[in-house]
Structure 1
Amino acid sequence: MSAAPVDAHLIETRLRTEGLLKGRFLDVRRDTVALPGGGEATREYVVHPGAVMVVPILDDGRLVVERQYRSPLQQVVLEFPAGKKDPGESGRVCAERELAEETGYRAAEWGHAGVLHNAPAYSTEHIEIWFARGLTAGAAKPDVGEHLEVLAMTEDEIDRRAGAGELTDAKTLIGLLWLQKWRAGRWPVRWSS
């Protein structure tokens, strides 16, 4: 996205990039930047391939969620199905793949809501927000080493957990917010079969 002339006083210019760590999943870099008011600074960040998050809606209105252990937090986290994009993979294809792998569900209709940047201060990660309905159950095939508990919960149950501080996953909180705004007719979801 190019900067509008009105933003010129905020824009930093990348001068140099140094690779700090290149793992199987993460690529950590340090940039030296020219500041808009003069001078230089460094910015460290993670390059991420992008991801999707799916809000699966059952015919009775309940939502499919999962619980899984997240090692960096050392705890089990409640979240909507999600996963990273494979190289060259579209968001829709990734959403279909992740929903089927993690939950076993397949959807007749897909809705694209938008994109979120969950940590723009230190990551290039963008997460596409997808909705799925017309769900058909099937067998889940999680990745090796991925252990999930799949549940169906009402929007109110999920909302109560968020309000009580039990739901802390940022993408799931945004997914819940988008669902509530969409159901209220305030935010769009672009549906297709």
Structure 2
Amino acid sequence: MNAGDGADDPLSETGLASETVFAGRLLTVLRDTVRLPDGKQGVREYVRHPGAVAIVAVLADGRLVFERQFRYPLRRAFLEVPAGKIDPGEDILACARRELREEAGYEAARWDHLGVMHPCIGYADERIELFLARDLVEVGNALDDGEFLELLTLSPQEAEAAVLDGRITDGKTIAALFRALPLLRG
């Protein structure tokens, strides 16, 4: 079965008109009129996002680097892997390297692209490119202005337990761990 994004997919919808509802610094909200598979018209509202990266960073002792960061929309701090927005025209690996350095203060000699995840397919076009970073060297962080976080480490087993018991609920972190754990287990 084809997951499909082309015209041959019987479930595809065709855009007929698009209106920008909101344009902010990070997000744009659009309202599109579409032709549905049955020929009728419908309306789709969605968020346009530049994309992001998320990094499972492995220390020499096998522990993983995590951040505890306050997320305003849910009004609480979350445990998550280092991550950040892709700048316009930026290569995804370059972005991952930059974010690991800025947020966690590490550079990595070995990088593996684990794949991509789409966190909000019902209302956003955001994609998050997942990476595994190994052979880390601590170089000191350089947080963006207004960015505050705490760094901590967990073993892969502790991280998996934190997902299963609900301490880690962040989607990108869960997806990145799911993709990285088989490689970490050998």
| TM-score, normalisation: structure 2 | 0.95
Find the aligned partners of 1:132 and 1:176 in 2 and give their Cα distance: 12
3-state SS, counterpart of residue 25 of structure 1: coil
Provide Cα deviations, 1:140-160, integer angstroms capped at 9, x if missing partner: 111111101011110111111
Sequence identity (%): 48
- Show structure 1 runs of 4+ deviating over 4 A: none
Question: Is 2:83 the partner of 1:54?
Answer: no
- Structure 2 counterpart of 1:49, which letter? P
2:6 is paired with a residue whose SS is: coil
Asked if residue 3 in structure 1 is aligned to residue 6 in structure 2, the reply is yes
Residue identity opposite 1:3 in structure 2: G
Correspondence 1:124 to 2:125:
yes
1:31-180 counterparts in 2 under 5 A?
31-180=32-181
Residues in 2 aligned to 1:32 and 1:104: alpha-carbon distance in whole angstroms: 45
The aligned amino acid for 1:53 is A
Amino acid at match of 2:99: E
Give the Å deviation of 1:181: 2.8
Supply the distance in 2 between the matched residues of 1:31 and 1:53 (Cα, whole angstroms). Answer: 30
Question: Is the CA contact (8 Å cut-off) linking 2:114 and 2:180 kept in structure 1?
Answer: no
**What CA deviation, in whole Å up to 9, does each residue of 1:115-156 have, x standing for no partner?**
111111111101000111010012111111110101111011
CA displacement, residues 16-75 of structure 1 (integer Å, 9 cap, x when unaligned): 000000011110000100001121110000111111001101111110010000000100
- SS at structure 2 position matched to 1:166: coil
SS in 2 for 1:150: strand
Report the alpha carbon displacement of residue 183 of structure 1 after superposing the two structures with TM.
3.6
Alignment root-mean-square deviation, CA: 1.3
Identify the residue that residue 190 of structure 1 maps to in structure 2: none
Structure 1 counterpart of 2:96, which letter?
Answer: A
Letter in 2 for 1:43: R
**Alpha-carbon contact 2:21-2:29 (below 8 Å) kept:** yes
Is 1:20 matched up with 2:28? no
The code of the aligned residue for 1:56 comes to A
* Separation (CA, whole Å) in 1 of partners of 2:7 and 2:16: 20
Residue 88 of structure 2 aligns to which amino acid in structure 1? P
Instruction: Show structure 1 runs of 5+ residues with no match.
Output: 186-193
Whichever residue aligns with residue 159 of structure 1, its letter is E
Q: C-alpha separation between the residues in 1 aligned to 2:36 and 2:7?
A: 17
Calculate the TM-score normalised by the size of structure 1: 0.91
User: Structure 1: how far apart are the matches of 2:177 and 2:19?
Assistant: 38
